[in-house]
Structures are given as C-alpha cells and as structure tokens.
Structure 1
Amino acid sequence: MDKRDFKTLKTALDSVSPHIYALRNDTVLFMLLDFRIIQLELAGDYKSAKDSIMRALEFGYRKDTTGKFYISAETHLGEWYMRVDSLAAAIPYLEEAYYLSRKNDTTQAIEICYSLATIFGKLKDYPGLKKYLDAGWQLIPGLKYERESYTAQFACNYVGYYSDMHNPDSAYYYYDLVKRDTTFVAPYLRAGLEWNITPVLIDQKQYEKAVRNQIYALAIVNQYAPLNPVLYNSVGKNLLLAGKNELAIKYADSALSINTNDKRWDIEAEAWRIKGEGLSNLGLYSLAYRAMDSAVVKWQIQTDSSLLKHIHELETQYQVKEKDDKIKSLAQLNAANEKINHLKNVIISALIGASILIGIIIFMWFRRRQTRNLLRETLLRQQLLRTQIEPHFIINTLSVLQAYILDIQTDKAVRYLRELSKLLHFSFQNARHPFISLDDEMAALQSYLELQVMQGEYNITYKFDIDSQLNDLEVFIPPMILQPFVENTLFHGFKGKSDRGIIDIVISKRGAVLHCLISDNGSGYSHHALSEGLITKSHATTIIADRLRILAKQTGQPAGVNIVSNDQTTGGSGTTVELIIPYRLTP
C-alpha cells in the first residue's frame, strides 16, 4: 500500500465519520475508531494511532457491556508496543486481553495467542512461547473460519520452538504437517517454515542445506515485507559455518546498508562481527581487525542506547499506566454516578410509596373514625332504647297497682310496687354501662316477667335454666339484650290466649360465647312466614341484631340471632329464639 492508498483510506474515513456520529450507535462508533487505528498504523503514524487507542480504551470502559470493545482496544495497545519494539510493555496488555477474551468467549483469543507467542519467541522466553502456542492450538478446532490458516501458522511456530529446543523429531512432525497440507500454499508461510527448520539443520551440520533454505525464504519474505537486516545477518552467520566467507561478507554488507536509516546498533555490531570473521577466514587480518574494532564500537553504542531505550520504555509505560489509571478512575466515577442516580430513583420511589402509604393510613384513620362515630351513635341509640319502657306496659302497671290499692290488697300492692321499683332501678342503672353482669340481666328479666304475671294480662309461667359452669364465673353481656325477645314472645305468643303458657329460658356456656334459648308454647309463627321474612321485627330486636354484629367484629367471636318455629324442630307449638352472645370477663 503506497501513500496514495493511505490518503484514500483516510479520506474515506473522514467522509463517513459525521454520518456515523449522527447514528449515536456505540457499536458502529467503535468500529469507526477501530478502522481509524488500523489506518494510522498502516500509515506509520504511531503517535496518532496510540492516541486513538487510548480513546478506544476509554470508550470501552464507559460504553462496553459485552467486553469485546475493551478487549479489542487492549489488543491494539499491545500490538502497538510490538510495532515500536517495546515487547516487554506489550505483554501485560495482551495477556489481560487474552484472559478477558477467554472469559467472554470471543474469537479474538487465538489472534492474541499468536501475538503473545510471537513476542515470547523474539524474547527467547521459551516457557511463555510454549504456553501460548499450546493455548492457541487448543482453540483451533473451535474455529468456523480460517482453521487451515491458523493450523499452519501455529505449526510453523512450533517448528521454530522445537528447533531452538534442539528437538528435531517434534520439529519435523510439525514441519511435515504443514508440508503435507497442499490446500494451504501461502508463500510467506512456506518461507517461515523453511526458515524455522534451519536450527535443526545446523544442529545436524547440514550447513549448505540450511543456507539454501534461508536464502529461499529470504527471497520470498522480501517480496511481502521491507528488507530486514536481522535476516541478512542470520544468513551471513550460517554462510560462515558453510565456509562461504565471501558470500557471508556480502550479506553482512547488505545488513549494514539496510540498517542505515534505522541505526540499530546491535544489528550493525553483529554485521561487522560477521564481516570481520569472514575477512579473518580469508586471511585479510588488517581488514578483519578494523571490522572487529567497528563491531566493538557499535556494541558499546548499543549498550548505551539500550539503557536509554529501557529508560524511555519505562517512561512510556508510566505514561500509559497513568492514562490507564485516569481511564479507570473515570470509569469508577461513572459507575459511582450511576449508583447515585440509582439511589436517587430508589429514594424517589420510596417517597412516592411512603406518600401512598400515608394516604392509605389517613384514609383508614378517617374510615375508622367514621365507623367509631357510627358505633357510638348505635350505642347511644341503644342506651336511649334501654332507658325507655313500653308506654303500654307502664299504663297497665299503674292500673294494676291502682286496683290493688282500691281493693285494699296491701300485700299484693307492696309486692307489685317492689318488683316495679326493681325493674326501674335495673333499667336506669344498666343504661349507664355497655356491659353488665349476667346476674343483673337475669334479675331485671325476672322482675319484668313477675310484673307481667301479676298484671294478669297473660296466663303464663316461666322457668330459668342457667348453666352450672356460670355459677362460679362472672360474665358480662350487653344490657337489655334478652328482654325485647321475651316481650315479643308475650305479645305474639300469648296475647288473647286463655290456655296457660310456658316460657323456658336456657343459658349455657360454649367456649367464649353464651348460647341462649327462649322457647314458648304459644301461637308462634308459621314456618312459611319465617322463611319468607314476612314477620316484621320490632325496632328493639333489629337494633340488638346490629349490636350483636358489631360485638362479633370487636371480639372476633361468632354472634347472632335465629328464630325458628317449633313445629319444624320438636313438632310442638310456639317459637324458639336462639341467641349467640360473646361475653367478657370484665365490664
């Protein structure tokens, strides 16, 4: 690729850049940056290429979610150090890229292995070379494309490794593996294969064959790459072994000529040494002495320049590390900002949730207050109801008392007045309390029934049957909860009936509730009337039913009223009222 090609590639990238930036697509943006790095490296503008690589690293830290962008950027940085001959500096970046690529299962891993193997081979670090040759070789079977190409490349490097290890059998194994593969005939790779087998031939003292292989390989390499003085020195050194001193001197002179621009002092020193040894073998000792003297001078310069180069590499590595630290700090700052934003969102969500919860609490509070007011209103109505005595009952009571007094039935009048006084006392006293003892409720009910019997309006007898468990246990129930149902029994069951009526009141304890039965043998209701809801309930019994429902919610115990006709249960006449009343052990 000549300069016009580089300029054309740069122009093409510059023209598409604005359109790619407008897309705001991270993948496409990174691909553009990747192409820019390649373009700058091909053009030999390594400084600008490195700046682009550092931008790619920063981009990978901030935007890359897959890891592939960052791996590619680190690979570029490692290969950049390879191109500027800072091999030791390239290793950490390429090794990190390799481990990341293996973790992310990318196809970049085998390319990184090949680059690392190349570096360790140049450094003569044979354990490192073998490690990455083996790692790359294991990846080859999983490749979908270029499997034959990578097989040949790694096999060629294995040849070089085993040649340097003086293991001819293994070297020839991989050498024959590539030679037998007629499908892959890349000349450049063939040249590398022949070059790498040379140390085995040298060990076997096949110097002329080794030299022929190297000259053949060098001719091919020169077609694809710039002239390399290192290769010319290598051929010259082996020519000395083959006894071809004149030709060795020519290759040394070629190495010196090629190295004129680069000024690699180690290469010049080696070229002068080869030339000096060839001249000495030819008996030209004066010229040989001057050549050897030049070699010593170049080695001294090389030693000094190597020290300066090492210092420069350290400075470069420090600068790169400083930039890496800045990139990582920026990434950590971005991560911290993301966490802060996430925390803000969490706090906002929590505040919204708290506001909703507070709204629900306020709503429930108002609802509870409303329910409490309703309950209070119900209690007040019940208290009002408890303070009221049926006007008809009062009139009848006073009429009977007047009759007793006029007939001078003093004992009956006194007894009658005593029962009336007790009933009024219980009525007014119990109205002040939401709960009264069962004994007080039964005493008030007994006074009421005694007055009804003494009035003579109803021909009845009554009987109380209290559970023996309640003799030693004081329980409390809502006041006046039984009397309205007894009133209904009298009015509906015995009004205008001459036959003697019987009222049985049975109270038993069942767990945390009282089971009350008020049974009579009066006229009763028909089963049809009860089942169809044709019987109109009194205002008092309706309120008591509501009171029992509220009591059930307060105590968590069952409560309710059930009215059944005896003809559906015992076959007799009359009605039975069943009440389930939760009780308390304290008023």
Structure 2
Amino acid sequence: MVLCSNILNAVGWPYWVFFLLSLIMICCVFYLRERHIRQTSTKEISRQQQLVYLEMHAFQAQMDPHFIFNSLNAIHHYILTTSTDLASLYLTRFARLMRLIIRNCNREWVNLEEDIEALELYLQLEQLRFGTQFDYELEVTPDVFQQLTFVPPLIIQPYIQEAIWRRLLLRPTKTGGCLRIRISREDEMISVRIEDNGINQGPPAEDTHLSQGITIATARLEAINEQYNMRSGITERELYNEMQQPSGHLVIISMQQMASREAVM
C-alpha cells in the first residue's frame, strides 16, 4: 500500500484515478473473457448444426429413390420368372439394408462390423440387378477388430456406388468388371482401399446424385476431423497398365481409429 501511495505521489495521480483505471481494466478483462466464451459456444453450435445438416443429406443420398425402385423391381422380376425363395432372400437383404441405413443415419459413429454389413448388402443388391457386369471382393484383414473399431457411417458407400455406376457399368464389354475393397489397419489408421477396373469418364457433373453423395461424404469427414481433432482423408488416382493405358481407378479412405469407449461418449 505504501508502494502504491509512493507511486501515485510520484506521478501526481489522485487515488480515485487509480481505482477508476483498475476498474476499467477489470471490466475489460471480464468483457473479453465473456466474448471469447460466447464466440466459442457459437462456433461449437454452428459446427454441430453443420454436422446434423450433413448427416441428414447423407441419409437422403443413401435413400436414393432410383436404387430403391430398381431393387424392388429386380426382386419382383425374380418372383415372376425365377424363384420365390431367391426373391425372398433378396427381399430380406433389402429390408435389412433399409433398416441399417435408417438406424445409422442418427448415429455419429457405428462399429465397423455394421458398416461392412451394410456395404455387403448394398453390393449384393446391385449384383442382383446387373448380373455378370461386375464381381466384387470385400476383404477385411485380421488385424482389424470390427466390433471394437468405430467409423462414421455413410462415408464408404458413396465411393463404392460411384465406382459401380460411373466406371464399371460403362465398360464397353458389359462383362468382366471387378471391384476390390480391402479394409486394413495401418498404425492408428483404418485404410479402406477401393479399386476398380472401370472406364474413366472424366470429371463428373456437379449436380448429379452421385456427386452430391461424394461431396457430402467428404464434407462430413472434414467436419468430424475438426470436431474430434482427427487425421482422416481421401485420396484418388487413376491406374495404368504396363503400356501406360488407363486400367482402372483407386480410392483410399484413411480414417483415424476411434476406440469404442470414446465413440459411445
């Protein structure tokens, strides 16, 4: 107190000026702190709203009316021309896929086993429709613990759908298409490798349903990266044979592994 009094006497300030300046400084500190809290809260609310918006549109992209109509039409064709048992099998798979999509659309994380089940059901239904136009292989390496590994739903399927519709079905021979999906673990990352031998048709139109699905999947992955401070990304490249001729397309989706305890919090 004596030191403050000596300082005030030295500069010629009365006590009330000192206390007024102190009060102003304290008010400024509290104001800046409150503004920072409000900005942080607003940013978090905006991020959550963006994620909900993207999840809703991802669900809409998955519930493609053309896919639903064509799948039911193919099942109806089996009922009339082939086998009711086979038609019943595919109808059961279709119902299971719809249930998984609807259930997962409101979940930020699902275990990898459920996501792979939805992928296989989707691939089986597409193969029902297109027969010998393409075959697929889906491999999960033993070091990936499917029930304990959590991933964002509705991320992988748009890229598989794009590979089928934009490349494999456009092969001139209409046979021999091959789609390989390999899910492996690389340190703390889950790597999803999607390779096809389809025909590259150049950059897609931005207003198509498939493009919207890809755009939404990429945006959701970026939003999840920001929210959880994760390292995830998507890379694509064309494949060439020994003659340097285009031979296919490769997509690699890398997602940081989410432990089960963290995913359910």
- 2:72 paired residue number: 398
Q: CA deviation at 1:427?
A: 0.5
Correspondence for 1:552 among 225, 228, 232: 225
Which segments of structure 1 move beyond 6 Å, counting only runs of 4 or more? 331-334, 342-346
Q: CA deviation at 1:573?
A: 1.4
C-alpha distance in structure 2 between counterparts of 1:574 and 1:452, whole Å: 20
**1:123-177 deviations in whole A, cap 9, x for unaligned?**
xxxxxxxxxxxxxxxxxxxxxxxxxxxxxxxxxxxxxxxxxxxxxxxxxxxxxxx
- 1:355 paired residue number: 27
In structure 2, what residue type is equivalent to 1:366? R
- 2:193 paired residue number: 517
Mapped contact 1:458–1:495 kept (Cα < 8 A)? no
How many residue pairs match? The answer is: 251
Correspondence for 1:491 among 134, 153, 165: 165
**1:507-556 deviations in whole A, cap 9, x for unaligned?**
22233332221111100255xx5xxxx76471121122122222222332
- 2:95 paired residue number: 421
1 or 2, which has the higher helix percentage? 1
Mapped contact 1:525–1:575 kept (Cα < 8 A)? no
Correspondence for 1:376 among 48, 52, 65: 48
SS of match in other structure, 1:465 = strand
Mapped contact 1:386–1:427 kept (Cα < 8 A)? no
C-alpha distance in structure 2 between counterparts of 1:445 and 1:347, whole Å: 69
**1:243-293 deviations in whole A, cap 9, x for unaligned?**
xxxxxxxxxxxxxxxxxxxxxxxxxxxxxxxxxxxxxxxxxxxxxxxxxxx
C-alpha distance in structure 2 between counterparts of 1:453 and 1:376, whole Å: 37
Q: Does 1:338 align with 2:14?
A: no
C-alpha distance in structure 2 between counterparts of 1:343 and 1:466, whole Å: 76
Q: CA deviation at 1:372?
A: 2.5
SS of match in other structure, 1:522 = coil
Alignment of 1:423-442 (within 5 A): 423-442=97-116
Correspondence for 2:239 among 566, 572, 578: 566
- 1:500 paired residue number: 176
Correspondence for 1:453 among 99, 112, 127: 127
- 1:257 paired residue number: none
TM-score by length of 2: 0.81
In structure 2, what residue type is equivalent to 1:544? A
C-alpha distance in structure 2 between counterparts of 1:424 and 1:349, whole Å: 66
Alignment of 1:165-184 (within 5 A): none
SS of match in other structure, 1:365 = helix
C-alpha distance in structure 1 between counterparts of 2:66 and 2:211, whole Å: 15
Q: CA deviation at 1:474?
A: 0.8
Percent identity between the aligned chains? 20
Mapped contact 2:188–2:257 kept (Cα < 8 A)? yes
Q: CA deviation at 1:386?
A: 4.2
Structure with larger RCO (C-alpha < 8 A, sep 6+):
2
Give the direction of change, closer, same or farther, for the CA distance of 1:506–1:333 in structure 2 (3 Å limit): closer
Q: CA deviation at 1:413?
A: 0.2
TM-score by length of 1: 0.39
C-alpha distance in structure 1 between counterparts of 2:125 and 2:163, whole Å: 15
Correspondence for 1:467 among 141, 159, 167: 141
C-alpha distance in structure 2 between counterparts of 1:551 and 1:371, whole Å: 14
SS of match in other structure, 1:564 = strand
Correspondence for 1:538 among 200, 206, 211: 211
C-alpha distance in structure 2 between counterparts of 1:423 and 1:444, whole Å: 6
In structure 1, what residue type is equivalent to 2:234? V
Give the direction of change, closer, same or farther, for the CA distance of 1:427–1:332 in structure 2 (3 Å limit): closer
Quick check: which has more Rg, 1 or 2? 1
RMSD (Å) for aligned C-alpha atoms: 3.2
C-alpha distance in structure 2 between counterparts of 1:430 and 1:542, whole Å: 19
C-alpha distance in structure 2 between counterparts of 1:338 and 1:467, whole Å: 79
Correspondence for 1:409 among 75, 78, 83: 83
C-alpha distance in structure 1 between counterparts of 2:259 and 2:22, whole Å: 45
- 1:290 paired residue number: none
Mapped contact 1:512–1:557 kept (Cα < 8 A)? no
C-alpha distance in structure 2 between counterparts of 1:569 and 1:584, whole Å: 39
Mapped contact 1:551–1:582 kept (Cα < 8 A)? no
Q: Does 1:366 align with 2:42?
A: no
Alignment of 1:180-199 (within 5 A): none
In structure 2, what residue type is equivalent to 1:384? M
SS of match in other structure, 1:540 = helix
In structure 2, what residue type is equivalent to 1:563? E
Give the direction of change, closer, same or farther, for the CA distance of 1:424–1:346 in structure 2 (3 Å limit): farther
Q: CA deviation at 1:341?
A: 5.3
In structure 2, what residue type is equivalent to 1:504? R
In structure 1, what residue type is equivalent to 2:114? D
C-alpha distance in structure 2 between counterparts of 1:333 and 1:381, whole Å: 58
**1:305-328 deviations in whole A, cap 9, x for unaligned?**
xxxxxxxxxxxxxxxxxxxxxxxx
Give the direction of change, closer, same or farther, for the CA distance of 1:547–1:387 in structure 2 (3 Å limit): closer
C-alpha distance in structure 1 between counterparts of 2:242 and 2:148, whole Å: 32
Q: CA deviation at 1:464?
A: 1.8
5+ residue gaps, structure 1, are 1-330
